[in-house]
Structure 1
Amino acid sequence: MITQYDISWRDDLFREEGFYSIAQCIEFKRNYYSVVVAGQKKSWVLCSDKQMVFTIEEKDKFLDEYSKDIYPLVSVLIPTYNRPKYFEIALKSVLMQTYRNIEIIIGDDSSNDDTQAIVKKYKKKYPNILYKKNNRRCSTVTERSYMNYSDVLHRSSGEYINYLNDDDVFEAEKIAKMMDYYLQYPNVSLVTSYRKLIDDNDRVIFDEKIMTLYPRWEVEKDTLLRGEIALKNLIMKINFIGEPTTALVRRCDIDNNFGTFSDKSFNCINDLPQWIQSLKKGDLIYIKEPLSSLRVHSKQKTKELFTQLFFKIDYFYIYLLSYKEKLISKNDFYSVMKFWQKIADISPEMLQSLKQESKDNRHNEEILNEFLALKDKVKYITNEIIE
């Protein structure tokens, strides 16, 4: 090294030479000086052949001191509502991450102070936790969830974003392994992984019936998939990428709110539209190792009847917009519309039950009416395509 200005070496941190030079370079940058690595064709210096040795203690000291200088900030966003037990498990899984430059943004919609008490306990030790108790009134569960998802995003500062549903769990290496791929491959716009399914008591689920409800892609090795190929499979087949917890996304690929696709926000589904939005910008990395766990339990909102209708409505618009943006062909669009007809098919008894439930609830009545209108529209669309 040759320097133009004098800055003290960090001998308060290091005793060996393993991290001396790189630490000194960062110290120069901290003091607003430029650091240049010369691109010489021939070697300028001959060094004795010896192996550089450093201790784990020194490595930890280096990372503790300089991680924020050398690694992009990742925002982990946790919207939560009345799940203090699961929430604490989720929060601990973020605090255990090996990646050193993380901020944790929590939006608490809970009707009690149980979650707030948990956060208060951890904030004493972890200043990177940013917490907000929301005191707002929403007419529906869907509206509340949407507002909380948006709020935590707009309070964050990270270059990369990973949502963590308050009942899901991260593996300790999740963010580090995903960021490694982003730093290696500038053309990658989405990184995800295989995920485990767990029950109420953190036990891994192997029930075939349950597993078929949550499609996963099993690969022999970490796989790079071109964006257009990943998009086609995502739209035409299954959401093999996973839920919001599973994938790490670039902030620059989020269009105002997470899950906005073609300028449209969706009622229940926000993962699939965001994956499509991200993959329009680049390629996909799929990691074979399960780096997160999806909790499947009885209190999930997806089990509600009108929520299921909302899911079907969202899927219709995802398919329609994919066709309008020319992500799928006319024949592909016909195929997904025929598929939508199948999943939208409900029995007369079920329809009667839905009508009965919506009598005293204007919001549910609007959902049902939109769903029935779309069923008629799909009949027209499929007939028009055939002709």
Structure 2
Amino acid sequence: MTPLVSILLPTFDRPQYLEQALVSALNQTYPHIEIIICDNSQNDATEQVVNSYLTSPNGSKIKYVRNKANIGPTANQQKCFRLAKGEYINYLMDDDLLHPRKIERMLPYLTGNPKIGLVTSLKQIIDHSGEPVRISTTPPFKLSTLKKPVINGQTLIQRMLTDSKNYIGEPTTVLFRKADLLEPFGTFGGKQAHNNVDVASWIALLVKKDAVFLEEPLSSFRKHPTQLTNTLLSKMGCQCDWIDVTLLAKKQRIFDDSSTLVKIINRLGKIVLNNFSNWNEATHGLYLDELLDRVHQLAVVSEKSKKLSSLAEDLKKLTQQLEAQRKPA
């Protein structure tokens, strides 16, 4: 039997982009799909766009849910996942596009191969109007020339954490098995990510499995001025997330080389020392507890290594500086 693939399309007030994303999902050459749209929008524009496609030849594949209130991006992504009936999942962010053959090309690497946790690929970068800008850079891995270009999951995790880079890609780029994601989307080790929700889930999927990386662009990632990743809060959340997943990966014994962990902690610590005080002032102390929590965790880990003793002392001093910035109740 041909397995069902759920394309999950969470959206918020982007009717024009949403329509383009929806069309790219409807144009998949793989026939057995459902498209789950969960709408956080504050007006009816998106609903009107979706309604215009419900009577199209493939309109029966669309399931549309309008949220009564804006539940936020992460909760909306998780709602899509809960509603999905497919054996396989491919998220589609409302400003991105799928290559027509994406599902068809990726699915064979997952079916009948339980050791594969996810399939990803290069992507086409497009601008706000959809014009091609460039193809994403090949990740720094020696990809196999065999029929199945497999990357060891834990090796991939370690490399992402070492560089603090999402080499797997944004949600749109990845196809995975629904049953393999044991925690809510955006969660790893019981910790919900603030910003790097995709990284958290990719790591969760790869702790005990491997990845397939295809060297052809099978999705388009749109860069535009209104993306949340351009804000200071996003940068803060992103850095906190990298600290969280690194320390949780340590607890799960993902690092097979203590020197790798020392290198990562040292780099994260320097970023914290160079930025957290300024970030706290810029945000008027609204996120001080979140910042202090990460400083404390890094200090505790650093104290356990002679190579990180100097970093531990600097982190303790930063704790005092941040506490001094705390506003009186």
Bin for the TM-score computed over the shorter chain: 0.7 to 0.9
- Residue of structure 2 in register with 1:272 after alignment: 199
Q: TM-score, normalised by structure 2?
A: 0.84
- Structure 1 unpaired stretches of 5+: 1-69, 139-143, 359-364
Equivalences for residues 338-349 of structure 1 within 5 A: 338-344=266-272, 345-346=274-275
- Residue of structure 2 in register with 1:124 after alignment: 55
Secondary structure in 2 aligned to 1:245?
Answer: helix
- Structure 2 unpaired stretches of 5+: 310-329
What do the CA deviations read for 1:28-86 (whole angstroms, capped 9, x no partner)? xxxxxxxxxxxxxxxxxxxxxxxxxxxxxxxxxxxxxxxxxx21110000110001111
Say if 2:163 is the partner of 1:232. Answer: no
For 2:61, the aligned partner's letter is N
- Residue of structure 1 in register with 2:321 after alignment: none
Residues 7 and 33, structure 2, Cα contact 8 Å, conserved in 1: yes
- Residue of structure 2 in register with 1:374 after alignment: 294
- Sort the Cα spacing of 1:340 and 1:106 in 2 relative to 1 into closer, same or farther, 3 A: same
Residues 188 and 201, structure 2, Cα contact 8 Å, conserved in 1: yes
Residues 194 and 288, structure 1, Cα contact 8 Å, conserved in 2: yes
- Residue of structure 1 in register with 2:22 after alignment: 91
- Residue of structure 2 in register with 1:76 after alignment: 7
Secondary structure in 1 aligned to 2:254?
Answer: coil
Q: TM-score, normalised by structure 1?
A: 0.72
- Residue of structure 2 in register with 1:111 after alignment: 42
User: Offset of 1:308 from its aligned partner?
Assistant: 1.6
CA distance in 2, matches of 1:134, 1:278: 28
For 1:83, the aligned partner's letter is R
Say if 2:104 is the partner of 1:176. Answer: yes
CA distance in 2, matches of 1:347, 1:270: 21
Out of 308, 332, 335, the position equivalent to 2:235 is 308
- Sort the Cα spacing of 1:220 and 1:280 in 2 relative to 1 into closer, same or farther, 3 A: closer
Percent identity reads 32
User: Offset of 1:91 from its aligned partner?
Assistant: 0.6
Residues 309 and 368, structure 1, Cα contact 8 Å, conserved in 2: no
- Residue of structure 2 in register with 1:325 after alignment: 252
User: Offset of 1:348 from its aligned partner?
Assistant: 5.9
Residues 215 and 240, structure 1, Cα contact 8 Å, conserved in 2: no
- Sort the Cα spacing of 1:186 and 1:378 in 2 relative to 1 into closer, same or farther, 3 A: closer
Out of 146, 151, 159, the position equivalent to 2:87 is 159
What do the CA deviations read for 1:328-370 (whole angstroms, capped 9, x no partner)? 1433222211121233322865543222xx5xxxxxx1x2331
Backbone CA RMSD of aligned residues: 2.2
CA distance in 2, matches of 1:190, 1:131: 26
Secondary structure in 1 aligned to 2:173?
Answer: coil
CA distance in 2, matches of 1:251, 1:179: 13
- Sort the Cα spacing of 1:349 and 1:160 in 2 relative to 1 into closer, same or farther, 3 A: closer
User: Which protein shows a greater Rg?
Assistant: 1
User: Offset of 1:305 from its aligned partner?
Assistant: 1.3
CA distance in 2, matches of 1:224, 1:373: 37
CA distance in 1, matches of 2:78, 2:32: 22
Secondary structure in 2 aligned to 1:127?
Answer: helix
CA distance in 1, matches of 2:151, 2:61: 34
Out of 149, 169, 172, the position equivalent to 1:245 is 172
Out of 87, 101, 105, the position equivalent to 2:32 is 101
CA distance in 1, matches of 2:202, 2:279: 32
Residues 161 and 242, structure 2, Cα contact 8 Å, conserved in 1: no
Out of 223, 226, 234, the position equivalent to 1:296 is 223
Residues 144 and 150, structure 2, Cα contact 8 Å, conserved in 1: no
What do the CA deviations read for 1:70-126 (whole angstroms, capped 9, x no partner)? 211100001100011111111110000000110000000000111100100111121
CA distance in 2, matches of 1:220, 1:151: 36
CA distance in 1, matches of 2:15, 2:192: 29
User: Offset of 1:380 from its aligned partner?
Assistant: 4.2
Out of 65, 69, 73, the position equivalent to 1:145 is 73
Considering Cα pairs closer than 8 Å and 6+ residues apart, tell me whether 1 or 2 has the greater RCO. 2
Q: How many residues align?
A: 298
User: Offset of 1:232 from its aligned partner?
Assistant: 2.5
